[in-house]
Amino acid sequence: MSNPQVVVHRDGDLLAAAAAARLVTRMVDAQAARGYASVVLTGGRTGTAVLEHLNRNAARDAVDWSKVDLYWGDERFLPSGHAERNETQARAALLDHVPVDPSRVHVMEPSDGKFGDDPEAAAEAYAALLASVARPEDHGDVPAFDVCMLGVGEEGHVASVFPDSPAVHEEERTVVAVRNCPKPPPTRVSLTLASVRSAQEVWLMTTGEAKAAAVAMALDGAGEVRLPAAGATGRRRTLWLLDTAAASAVPALFTPPLS
């Protein structure tokens, strides 16, 4: 488990552009080291803005898109192509514009997919997929993703893991169905925090004053049950990418020394 690092950018748009540039470099380095890169995408405004910026990034095609494994941290359990699905938004923002290998874009099943309106079956299938691609060196049933990107909710949720929810208490399964979610739509499929923690690097990316309290609590030692973002840590790196508004209450320990 890695100690959190905090990087603050002037505003949300610059944060998304900088995170996109950071992701290009991370993917290029992973591919140079072992031939492929694996990234967990997130829904939400910030996560989608990062993909939009990545699509416009001058270095976009330094990535060999045919050797990228893409996953989702969570998905809204809606029909395929629904505008509110994270997959739909990621395809519009980036995936439809780069030559990814469709067999390496691992979507969470929609509510009109092979399991019909059964989010538990969709969650089990995604868990089985993760177990099938995990390597011995990953030491478990979830791949050691190069990067797991996450947005953060006002009450501290990440993916679809909400405070004091069944998902945050899950200790066996790696992927769960989430019902009665406080953030619409109510039914989702989500990685658990333990699965997030399989990633080499976890990037928590959020903007705006409304997130400042949750960010501060997570960095100030809140427990993951009450503040799930506090439990989103990477094996090697945990990076909080914030704009100045979301960082406005960050404990002094995390702000750079005055030069």
Ligand X SMILES: O=C(O)[C@H](O)[C@@H](O)[C@H](O)[C@H](O)COP(=O)(O)O
Min dist. Cβ of residue 229 to ligand X (A): 10
Kind plus residue range of the DSSP H or E element containing 14: helix 12-34
Residue choice 8, 17, 40, 46 for contact with ligand X (CB under 6 A): 46
CA dihedral sign, ordered 221, 75, 65, 19: negative
Residue choice 4, 44, 163, 231 for contact with ligand X (CB under 6 A): 44
- The tokens describing 112, both together, are 């009109």
Decide if residue 12 touches ligand X (CB under 6 A).
no
- The tokens describing 179, both together, are 């019902």
Residue choice 2, 45, 235, 244 for contact with ligand X (CB under 6 A): 45
Kindly give the interhelix angle for 12-34 and 45-56, rounded to the nearest 10 degrees: 60
The interface region with ligand X, picked from 38-46, 127-135, 140-148, 235-243 by CB under 6 A, is: 38-46
| Total interface residues for ligand X by CB under 6 A | 16
Decide if residue 110 touches ligand X (CB under 6 A).
no
Please state, in angstroms and rounded to a whole number, the distance separating the CA atoms of residues 185 and 21. 31
Residue choice 22, 27, 42, 227 for contact with ligand X (CB under 6 A): 42
66 vs 80, beta carbon nearer ligand X: 80
**Count of CA atoms in the C-beta half-sphere (13 A) of 171:** 2
76 vs 197, beta carbon nearer ligand X: 76
Decide if residue 94 touches ligand X (CB under 6 A).
no
The interface region with ligand X, picked from 29-37, 149-157, 171-179, 237-245 by CB under 6 A, is: 149-157
Residue choice 74, 124, 146, 243 for contact with ligand X (CB under 6 A): 74
Distances (CA, A) of 203 to 22, 117, 192: 10, 31, 16
Tell me if the bond preceding 184 is cis, omega within 30° of 0: no
Residue nearest to ligand X (CB): 151
> Who contacts 252 (Cβ-Cβ below 8 Å, separation ≥6)?
none
Q: Is 134 exposed, middle or buried (0-12, 13-18, 19+ CB in 10 A)?
A: middle
Decide if residue 63 touches ligand X (CB under 6 A).
no
Decide if residue 228 touches ligand X (CB under 6 A).
no
Decide if residue 52 touches ligand X (CB under 6 A).
no
Enumerate binding residues for ligand X (CB under 6 A): 42-47, 74, 76, 86, 151-153, 157-159, 183
